[in-house]
Chain A
Amino acid sequence: MLLKTTSLSFAYPGQPSLSFPDFSLSGGEAVLLLGKSGSGKTTFLNLLAGLLSPNHGEVILDGTVLSSLQGHRLDLFRGQHIGIIFQKAHLIAALTVKQNLELAQFLSKKNGSSPLALLQDLGIADKASAAVGTLSEGEAQRVSIARALINTPKLILADEPTSSLDDEHAQRVITLLKSEAAKIGAALVIVTHDQRVKSEVSQVLELKSE
């Protein structure tokens, strides 16, 4: 198993504790994370990414217990092994498309894949030296996928990646995510309530709010 969680729970200060079901995922597999608003989907994703640290339980990625890592080692581990895609692209506006990818490589100290080849795969190679501000939303989202993939992560987390895209782009983004994750053998977790996505991924994990 590439990704495994055991008896995870987390509580925001002054709020009741949220418990999450145990689950595991192999490389190349994809899972949809579903649930109503407030059921803790984003919290769960943050725990998986090591952005939040659980009150109980563990997240184990490829044999490493995330909560055992501290400070910069956790940051570096995240940069090297976890790719995160947000609802909006959130690229660094001061940099060009290619520089955004190079930045991800620099911060994770991993210089594996070539930014240009990846952009080629995602069909946006012609935008490599474009300023981020000139991209359409669909293009920007594809760049953010490229940024998440550039370090060939073991785990890809996507938080509502398609919610701000039209049908055509949503379809394209979800197909890309699946095929690229499969190509590099990464586990893919998608948080969504987008019907267009639900039909694409068979494995589902449903969070229930108590």
Chain B
Amino acid sequence: MNLLTLSWKYLSFRPLATGLNVILLAFGLAIITVLLLVQYQFEEKMTRDAAGIDLVVGAKGSPLQLILSSVYHIDFPTGNIKMEEAQRISRSRLVKQVIPLAMGDNVQGLRILGTNHDYLDLYSVKFAAGKPWEQPFEVTLGAESAQILGLKLGDTFSGSHGISVGSHDHDQHAFKVTGILAPSGKVVDRLVLTSIESVWYTHDEESGAEPDTTTQVEEERIAVEEDAPEEGIDPQLLPVSARGFPVTDQDREVTTLLIRYRNPMAAIQLPRMINSGTSMQAASPAFEMSRLFELLGVGISLLQGLAIALVVIAGLSIFIALYNSLKERKYDLAILRTLGASRGQLVGLVFLEGISLTILGAIFGIAFGHGFLALIVELTSQELVSLVDPWVFLTEEGLIFGYALTVGIVASLIPAWSAYQTSIAKQLTKT
């Protein structure tokens, strides 16, 4: 028997009041946990995935959409740009590095991204098996992609058109897995990486095989192909380019460019130059993401307000419960004193009760928070949400214990003082 056991016995003697207080506090803290996790993980993922990318250049449209589609691979691309124009930008002295991206296909909802080996370096990936693509139609799978598709080195698969599931398949030429990445926690985990040439060739074949359904753009492309010189070897048998733009004498397109500035001056000049001087648009990930967070900010503050209100109500409720139970227990307190308890021990008992309640609330709150987030992630198909890992534990969650402790201490102050003041003789002679 000690004070902790005694306080616990008192708490469990009133299971309903105790339960209500714990749940009330747990809900408030669960909301704070969810907000903390979501905000932290989004911001961290967003920053990590955008590291090394100063500017994204693509077809005109929504700048936010451009960033979401090219950096985070969650929204649809704004369209394609001419490679010739793209190459012109890359020759600017303001540009240190350009990584071209070609999109348009998926396999089971995972995006097939045509790019070069610079992209692998950008995210400093490590290979779990195999090596980067060298020939057309060779692909490297992100760690999660490999798991979802259940593919290993040497396996083949075919992609389907569009960037979400359900479109028709490109079954002319199968992709071959030659590399699998180690998990990195970055956006590459959920991608299927290949060369830009592979993306081009898949679409070439499609337009060649199904001439009846070709669109005007594709017809143009066929025309280009027909104009192409017949001499030499089939380009599909040549190795793809590992750095820079693919080498081709045809009129080709890419989807977007990821640009790194050479100097700070570029941040001022380059976006303006692209936005006004070309038919393309430039958007900065940092700027667009902070704009997005600003938009979400209202909702977040609203939820934060609700969470704080819940925690305050829980604090009040714990205070009332302690105060009331103490009034009923004045006699008990006097008895404890006659048995040898000091005033300090009685105060300790009250604080222990308040603090045990709130620590329980904090434990349940954090558990609820993670569970709730896991449920949301499980139930939703929204890719943005699936970026959040509900089972990551942050050191900031220690703050939640801090909040809970503060609530417990504040709620116990007045009851503890009244316990300290209890006069034993007066209490015992009262009938």
Contact = CB atoms under 8 A, between A and B. Distances in A.
Interface of A: 42, 46, 49, 51-52, 71-72, 75-76, 78-80, 84, 86-87, 90, 92-95, 99, 102-109, 147
Interface string B324-343: 00000001100111111111
Contacts of B9: 92, 94-95, 99
B1 A105 contact: yes
Contacts of B338: 49, 51, 78-79, 84
Contact of A108 (B2, B340, B431): B340
Contact of B339 (A71, A72, A79): A79
Contacts of B1: 99, 102-103, 105-106
- Which of B2, B13, B343, B425: most chain A Cβ within 10 A? B425
Closest 7 CB pairs of A and B: A79-B340, A94-B13, A72-B342, A102-B1, A108-B340, A107-B340, A51-B425
A104 B344 contact: no
Contacts of A46: 425, 428-429
Contacts of A75: 337, 340-343
The secondary-structure label for the interface of chain B is helix
Contacts of A94: 6, 9-10, 12-13
Contacts of A93: 13, 332
Contacts of B13: 93-94
- Which of A79, A102, A107, A108: most chain B Cβ within 10 A? A107
Contact of A72 (B6, B331, B344, B431): B344
B207 interface: no
A76 B6 CA distance: 18
Contacts of B12: 94
Contacts of A105: 1
Contact of B6 (A49, A71, A86, A103): A103
B298 to A, nearest CB: 47
B367 interface: no
B332 A92 contact: yes
B340 A109 contact: yes
B74 interface: no
Contacts of B6: 92, 94-95, 103
Contact of B341 (A42, A79, A80, A87): A79
A25 B331 CA distance: 30
B267 interface: no
6 contacts: A51-B338, A71-B343, A75-B341, A79-B340, A79-B341, A93-B332
Interface residues of B, number: 25
B424 interface: yes
Nearest to B335: A90
A52 B341 contact: no
Contacts of B343: 71-72, 75
A86 B339 contact: no
B339 A90 contact: no
B425 A107 contact: no
A86 B424 CA distance: 13
A107 B341 contact: yes
Nearest to A94: B13
B339 A107 contact: yes
A71 B347 CA distance: 14
A42 B431 CA distance: 12
A84 B335 CA distance: 9
B293 to A, nearest CB: 50
Given A42-B429, A46-B425, A106 B2 contact: yes
Nearest to A157: B338
A79 B425 CA distance: 15
Given A92-B9, A95-B9, 14 more contacts: A42-B429, A49-B338, A51-B424, A52-B425, A75-B341, A90-B332, A94-B6, A95-B6, A102-B1, A103-B6, A103-B339, A104-B340, A106-B1, A147-B339
A22 B1 CA distance: 39
Contacts of A87: 431
B345 interface: yes
Contacts of A76: 340, 342
Contacts of A104: 339-340
Nearest to B8: A94
B340 A80 contact: yes
Contacts of B345: 107
A102 B1 CA distance: 6
Nearest to A86: B428
Nearest to B2: A106
Contacts of B340: 75-76, 78-80, 104, 107-109
Contacts of B342: 71-72, 75-76
A109 B2 CA distance: 10
Nearest to A115: B1
B319 to A, nearest CB: 20
Nearest to B328: A93
B225 to A, nearest CB: 86
B272 to A, nearest CB: 74
Nearest to B342: A72
A147 B1 CA distance: 14
Nearest to B325: A94
Contacts of A147: 339
A72 B66 CA distance: 72
